[in-house]
Amino acid sequence: MTSIQVRDVSYQFSNQEYVLNNINLNVPEGSIYGFLGPNGAGKTTTLRLILGLIKKQKGEIEIFGKAFDKHRIEILSKIGSLIESPSLYGHLTAVENLKVWQKVYQSPENRIAEVLQMVGLAHTGRKKAGQFSLGMKQRLGIAVALLHNPSLLILDEPTNGLDPSGIVEMRELLKTLNQQHGITIIISSHLLGEIEKLVTDVGIINKGRMLFESSLTELMKRQHAASTIYFDTNNNAQALQLMHQQKIEAQIEKERIVAAQLSKQAIAQINQTLVANSIEVYGIRAIENDLESIFMNLTNN
């Protein structure tokens, strides 16, 4: 089942050009969906539309299989969100901040201790939220979002501005929420590297258009297919000719031969052919295209 389904949604602020153009999004239930795109791509606008914080103009949004327009209250009661920085009272402790929201949400009082435990802030005692590190503030914001026991969390760039250890802590927290508490998570980021170890699914947006959406496994396959093999020999021209005879796609770049992704067996076979033709092979190297460069290629084109 799909937790969020966005169909052909477009959006414009006043009469300006469209900041979202017919975007489609499918967030599978139980997934951690990485919503990726550079600054200004349209991530926050999309998440605000999904939450009904701005009014939909074109297209359809279904959440938990129901049209958002018609089941707004019911749907929102099962969603927790953190859009941009959390609104916290700096002069109150974590528990006091949560008490404010617990009353708003009318959740049971013992839920406060539970969510503090879940986000790893159970021992902050009398410390005021204003003295918390950015990572702790973000986690307290997530604790607020968890108070009413949501089955879907919508997080807009929760790792923004965090130091490397804050990013790791956030990653661990979100994994636990997903795996142990069964919460589906959509998390936006402009840095693939920050969330690629976390997500199960990926959607890439740029300039208001969805460029790509798939499982992380599918993206990894694409990465593998985009990797290349370098051959360094004493006679690249002849080596290239021999490769072309074997129907291997290759060309010479910067005094070495660059071939498309090949199996281990194919690499060994080429090596044997080159050696049998008295070509000296100095090196064979496989370069896996990293996910970041695939992301950059998709968003730059």
Ligand X SMILES: Nc1ncnc2c1ncn2[C@@H]1O[C@H](COP(=O)(O)OP(=O)(O)OP(=O)(O)O)[C@@H](O)[C@H]1O
The answer to whether the beta carbons of residues 46 and 20 sit under 8 Å apart is: yes
Minimal distance in Å, beta carbon 152 to ligand X? 19
- Residue 272's identity, in one-letter code, is Q
Report helix, strand or coil for 57: coil
Establish if 41 lies at the interface with ligand X (CB under 6 A): yes
Q: Under rule CB under 6 A, how many of the chain's residues touch ligand X?
A: 11
Sole window of 41-49, 124-132, 138-146, 288-296 interacting with ligand X (rule: CB under 6 A):
41-49
Sole window of 34-42, 193-201, 263-271, 275-283 interacting with ligand X (rule: CB under 6 A):
34-42
Which is nearer to ligand X, 21 or 97 (by Cβ)? 21
Establish if 44 lies at the interface with ligand X (CB under 6 A): yes
> Which 137-196 positions form the footprint of ligand X (CB under 6 A)?
190
Query: Cβ-count burial of 160 within 10 angstroms (0-12 exposed, 13-18 middle, 19+ buried)?
Result: middle
The answer to whether the beta carbons of residues 162 and 135 sit under 8 Å apart is: yes
Which is nearer to ligand X, 44 or 102 (by Cβ)? 44
Look-up: residue for tokens 């916290």?
Answer: 88
Which is nearer to ligand X, 44 or 159 (by Cβ)? 44
Residues 6+ apart with CB under 8 A from 122: 113, 116
Which is nearer to ligand X, 31 or 44 (by Cβ)? 44
Sketch the per residue contact string, 199 through 218, with ligand X: x for CB under 6 A, - otherwise. Answer: --------------------
Establish if 19 lies at the interface with ligand X (CB under 6 A): yes
Sole window of 32-40, 73-81, 173-181, 266-274 interacting with ligand X (rule: CB under 6 A):
32-40
- Can you name the residues that pair with 204 across neighbouring β-strands? 36, 212
Residues 6+ apart with CB under 8 A from 235: 279, 280
For residue 76, how many other CB atoms are within 10 A of its CB?
A: 16
Establish if 34 lies at the interface with ligand X (CB under 6 A): no
- Can you name the residues that pair with 184 across neighbouring β-strands? 152
Query: Which spans of this chain sit near ligand X (rule: CB under 6 A)?
Result: 13, 19, 37, 39-45, 190
